[in-house]
């Protein structure tokens, strides 16, 4: 009776991008400023940023006990639309109204950094535990806002966390109002 104890050799072509992706998500959740600078400058990170948004949206849907595939799809599409909108508003405010002399960034750079700032949103899946749901949702929202502030600070090359926080607060408020307006219009048709 022989047993085969050999393991398949790791495939550097397929393992490396996935390892890099999860490492980046963990660094983003740890609020590592160098991660946000890294993805800002990595033009190939857009797919990873989109994946973070999708995973965080699915976690939110499952954590809210919304196991209906249609609802999760709608939440995911809404999250992606909100991401694009928030990044655009943040880009506009940060580069037009509150820039500093060293502020030099592009919209896609901000999209990538803001996408990774959603990494802490994966904990929302633990909302499936009813006793923890409110706490988890609050903790995830607070954590994501802090990540967003760090992402904006790095992407817009700010020296001040307060300037980045102001841009995030203004951008989030405008995005929230616009998304509520859009959702109100959509809900009339469905």
Give the pLDDT band (50/70/90) at residue 186. Answer: confident
Residue 62: per-residue pLDDT: 83
Residue 179's pLDDT band, with cuts at 50, 70 and 90, is confident
Task: Judge contact between 189 and 131, C-beta under 8 A.
Answer: no
| Cα–chain center distance at 139 | 15
**pTM for the model:** 0.86
Q: What's the pLDDT band for 190 if we cut at 50, 70, 90?
A: low
DSSP 30: T
Q: What is the mean pLDDT of residues 81-87?
A: 90
Identify the band that residue 8 occupies on the pLDDT scale cut at 50, 70 and 90. Answer: low
Alpha-carbon 57 to chain mean position: 9
Helix 161-189, helix 69-92: angle, nearest 10? 140
What is the end-to-end Cα distance of the chain in Å, rounded?
A: 63
**pLDDT per residue as tens digits for the range 100-130:** 999 999 999 999 999 999 999 999 999 999 8
Q: What is the structure's pLDDT at 121? A: 95
Dihedral sign, Cα of residue 176, residue 178, residue 184, residue 190? negative
| Tens digits of residue pLDDT in 139-175 | 999 999 999 999 999 999 999 999 999 999 999 999 8
Q: How far is CA 42 from the centre of its chain?
A: 16
What pLDDT, in 10s, does the model give residues 20-79? 999 999 999 999 999 999 999 999 999 999 999 999 988 988 887 766 777 777 778 888
User: What pLDDT, on a 0 to 100 scale, did the predictor assign at position 2?
Assistant: 44
DSSP state of 9: P
The pLDDT of residue 9: 53
- For 126, other C-beta atoms within 10 Å of its C-beta total 17
Burial group, residue 91, by CB count within 10 angstroms (0-12, 13-18, 19+): buried
- Per-residue confidence (pLDDT) for residue 18, from 0 to 100: 93
């Amino acid at each position: 009776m022989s047993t085969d104890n050999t393991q398949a050799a790791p495939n550097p072509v397929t393992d490396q991008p996935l390892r890099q992706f999860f490492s980046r998500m963990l660094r983003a959740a740890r609020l590592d400023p160098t991660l946000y600078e890294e993805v800002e400058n990595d033009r190939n990170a857009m797919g990873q940023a989109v994946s973070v948004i999708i995973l965080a949206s699915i976690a939110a849907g499952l954590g809210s006990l919304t196991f209906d595939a249609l609802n999760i799809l709608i939440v995911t599409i809404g999250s992606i639309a909100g991401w694009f909108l928030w990044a655009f508003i943040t880009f506009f405010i940060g580069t037009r109204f509150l820039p500093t002399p060293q502020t030099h960034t592009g919209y896609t750079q901000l999209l990538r950094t803001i996408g990774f700032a959603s990494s802490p949103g994966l904990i929302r899946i633990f909302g499936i535990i009813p006793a923890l749901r409110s706490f988890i949702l609050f903790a995830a929202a607070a954590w994501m806002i802090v990540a967003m502030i760090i992402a904006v600070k790095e992407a817009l090359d700010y020296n001040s966390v307060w300037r980045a926080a102001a841009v995030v607060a203004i951008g989030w408020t405008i995005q929230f109002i616009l998304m509520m307006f859009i959702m109100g219009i959509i809900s009339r048709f469905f």
